[in-house]
């Protein structure tokens, strides 16, 4: 297993540290963050179906055992252990252990933009988060393959009750008056992060995701973010699009979820 690096073949520590600053601020929005010698455990009993707020964040360069992570994560009736490691090249044995027991390792490409964005596309606007927006939001989860009612309900509650009060903003792309594309932006501790960039399958390949991302980058800069991050599929078409509009690769991060107990 090899290190996952940036476009020049080297992990950019400064950029990764900036991403971690955002990530820690994001986790702190939720109910409980328990620091550990290897990183932290994040828990929120209100949203038990969401891995992103019930997981382990591994940051250390010292070896960590899978048994130790499971022991901490599987407390309090949590049925699955979800782990994210930001420097997988430091935790090759841990990844081997997780893979050997059948956990599927997922990779996300970390990309960053430190240039001004462009918001000139007239199809793009900021949402006022009215009830109509949330109807489209719920439908957009299906574009990501999220169909479970519990997960969808809790994701919407996180957005409305936790992230929106923290400054989360949504931008939408319209065609013939209907919302057919979405992207979200949150700036925390001076760092921007874009996610949920998605387009209705019937409206794809018309530049909406590109225009939304450019608008979000511009708004992040206006909000004081010197850098704006996002995650992309390493082999997906999105990464090439993001590079064309000024994003560069920082590294790849690894994650996995254990089978239910």
DSSP state of 254: E
pLDDT band at 119 (very low <50, low <70, confident <90, very high): low
Q: How many domains does the chain have?
A: 2
**Rounded Cα distance, 126 and 118, in Å:** 14
Quick: pLDDT tens for 191-245.
999 999 999 999 998 999 999 999 999 999 999 999 999 999 998 888 999 999 9
Spell out the long-range contacts of 27-36 with Cβ–Cβ below 8 A and sequence spacing 24 or more: 27/53, 27/57, 29/162, 29/163, 29/166, 30/162, 36/72
Residues 136 and 95 in one domain: no
Quick: pLDDT tens for 10-58.
567 899 999 999 999 999 998 789 999 999 999 898 998 898 898 999 9
Residue 97 maps to a domain: yes
Residue 239 maps to a domain: no
Residue 237 maps to a domain: no
What is residue 116's predicted lDDT score, i.e. its pLDDT?
74
Residues 102 and 165 in one domain: no
Q: Is the pLDDT of residue 69 over 50?
A: yes
Q: What is the DSSP string of 15-33?
A: HHHHHHHHHHHHHTTSSEE
Task: Name the strands in the sheet holding 39-43, side by side, starting at the edge strand that comes first in the sequence.
Answer: 32-36, 39-43, 55-58, 82-85, 248-257, 106-113, 227-232, 191-199, 178-188, 169-175, 124-126
Residue 155 maps to a domain: yes
In this prediction, residues 70-84 reach a mean pLDDT of 75
What is residue 7's predicted lDDT score, i.e. its pLDDT?
55
Share of the chain above pLDDT 70, in %: 92
Half-sphere exposure of 231 (CA within 13 A, CB side): 13
Quick: pLDDT tens for 167-188.
999 999 999 999 999 999 999 9
**Rounded Cα distance, 57 and 160, in Å:** 24
Residues 209 and 146 in one domain: yes
Residue 231 maps to a domain: no
DSSP state of 61: S
* 181: β partners: 173, 199
Residue 17 maps to a domain: yes
Residue 20 maps to a domain: yes
pTM for this predicted structure: 0.92
Whether 222 and 187 have beta carbons less than 8 Å apart is answered as no
Among 33, 16, 7, smallest CA distance to 87 is for 16
Residues 65 and 144 in one domain: no
pLDDT band at 3 (very low <50, low <70, confident <90, very high): very low
Q: Is the pLDDT of residue 156 over 60?
A: yes
Residue 129 maps to a domain: yes
Domain range for 177 is 124-225
């Amino acid at each position: 297993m090899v290190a996952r690096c940036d476009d020049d073949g080297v992990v950019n520590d400064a950029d990764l540290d900036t991403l971690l600053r955002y990530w820690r601020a994001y986790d702190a929005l939720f109910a409980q963050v328990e620091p550990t010698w290897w990183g932290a455990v994040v828990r929120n009993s209100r949203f038990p179906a969401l891995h992103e707020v019930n997981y382990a964040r591994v940051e250390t360069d010292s070896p960590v055992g899978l048994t130790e992570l499971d022991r901490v994560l599987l407390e309090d009736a949590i049925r699955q252990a979800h782990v994210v490691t930001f420097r997988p090249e430091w935790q090759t044995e841990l990844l081997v252990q997780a893979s050997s027991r059948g956990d599927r390792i997922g990779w996300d490409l970390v990309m960053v933009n430190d240039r001004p964005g462009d918001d000139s596309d007239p199809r793009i606007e900021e949402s006022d988060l009215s009830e109509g927006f949330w109807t489209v939001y719920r439908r957009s989860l299906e574009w990501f393959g999220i169909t479970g009612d519990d997960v969808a309900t809790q994701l919407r509650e996180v957005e409305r009750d936790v992230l929106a009060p923290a400054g989360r903003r949504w931008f939408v792309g319209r065609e013939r008056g209907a919302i057919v594309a979405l992207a979200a932006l949150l700036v925390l501790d001076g760092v921007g992060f874009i996610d949920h960039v998605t387009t209705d399958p019937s409206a794809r390949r018309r530049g909406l995701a590109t225009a939304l991302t450019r608008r979000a980058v511009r708004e992040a800069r206006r909000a004081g973010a010197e850098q704006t991050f996002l995650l992309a599929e390493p082999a997906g078409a999105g990464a090439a699009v993001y590079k064309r509009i000024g994003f560069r690769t920082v590294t790849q991060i690894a994650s996995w979820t254990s089978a239910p107990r």
